[in-house]
């Protein structure tokens, strides 16, 4: 699943072996849960992103936990519950601009930095997410 398996990362005492998923390497379910819980408060505090999200962020966090688990190579929890992710399509109702994609990735980097995930793996996570983040862009920046 994805590029993690074809790459070996080393650093900070942590290695992503060629047959290991990013999901396992970062610490499995509890790590994904922690990341999601650190990420959304940053999204809610970001002036470009917060207007797009509902006040009750818990359902979004729950879906993101299911999705990232699957996306990083863990069990396909999102698809089991919601079917094919079609993630670009699910973002079409929202104006995802280049600046918002950068802000989203920046919130994710900050959340990662607050975890115990090693820096090389933090970089691998951002690398894995930056493709989709840019792919979801569907609107121009306003200014
Ligand atoms: C590029 C910047 C992004 C913006 C501005 C953005 C914004 C949003 C918004 C507004 C929602 C809907 C919240 C609601 O339910 O009301 C959403 C849902 C979601 N986003 Fe993003 N998103 C971005 C990137 C990403 C990326 C890179 C991923 C993962 C690769 C992702 C995964 C999800 C998931 C899993 C959901 C829930 C989908 C569902 O309803 O089942 N998003 N996002």
pLDDT digits 0-9 by tens, 49-89? 999 999 999 999 999 999 999 999 999 999 999 999 999 99
Alpha carbons within 13 angstroms on the beta-carbon side of residue 58 total: 1
Instruction: Please determine, looking at this structure, whether the domain spanning 4-135 carries the CATH number 1.10.490.10.
Output: yes
Three-state SS sequence of the chain: CCCHHHCCEEECCEEECCCCCHHHHHCHHHHHHHHHHHHHHHHHHCCCCHHHCCCCCHHHHHHHHHHHHHHCCCCCHHHHHHCCCCHHHHHCCCCCCHHHHHHHHHHHHHHHHCCCCCHHHHHHHHHHHHHHHHHCCCCCCCC
Give the global pTM.
0.92
- CA 47 – ligand 1 centroid, Å: 16
Q: What share of the chain has pLDDT > 70, as a percent?
A: 89
- CA 93 – ligand 1 centroid, Å: 10
For residues 93 and 139, the answer to whether their CB atoms sit within 8 Å is no
* Average pLDDT of the residues in 93-109: 98
Is it the case that residue 5 has pLDDT exceeding 50?
no
pLDDT digits 0-9 by tens, 18-32? 788 999 999 999 999
- CA 49 – ligand 1 centroid, Å: 10
Q: For residues 48-66, b (16+ Cβ closer than 10 Å) or e, as one string?
A: bbeeeeeeeeeeebebbbb
Is 135 annotated among the ligand-binding residues? no
> Which of 92, 136, 141 gets mutated to test ligand 1 (max ligand atoms within 8 A of its CB)?
136
- CA 133 – ligand 1 centroid, Å: 9
Mean pLDDT of the chain: 91
The atom number, within ligand 1, closest to the CA of 52 reads 10
β-strand partners of 47: none
Is 40's C-beta closer than 6 angstroms to any atom of ligand 1? no
């Amino acid at each position: 699943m994805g590029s993690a398996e074809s790459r070996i990362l080393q650093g900070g005492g942590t290695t992503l072996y060629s047959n290991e998923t990013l999901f396992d390497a970062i610490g499995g379910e509890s790590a994904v849960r922690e990341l999601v819980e650190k990420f959304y408060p940053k999204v809610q505090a970001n002036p470009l992103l917060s207007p797009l999200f509902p006040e009750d962020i818990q359902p979004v966090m729950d879906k993101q936990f299911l999705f990232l688990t699957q996306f990083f190579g863990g069990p396909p929890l999102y698809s089991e519950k919601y079917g094919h992710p079609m993630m670009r399509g699910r973002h079409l109702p929202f104006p995802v601009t280049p600046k918002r994609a950068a802000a989203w990735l920046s919130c994710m980097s900050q959340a990662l930095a607050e975890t115990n995930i090693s820096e090389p793996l933090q970089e691998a996570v951002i690398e894995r997410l930056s493709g989709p983040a840019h792919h979801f862009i569907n609107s121009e920046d306003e200014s």
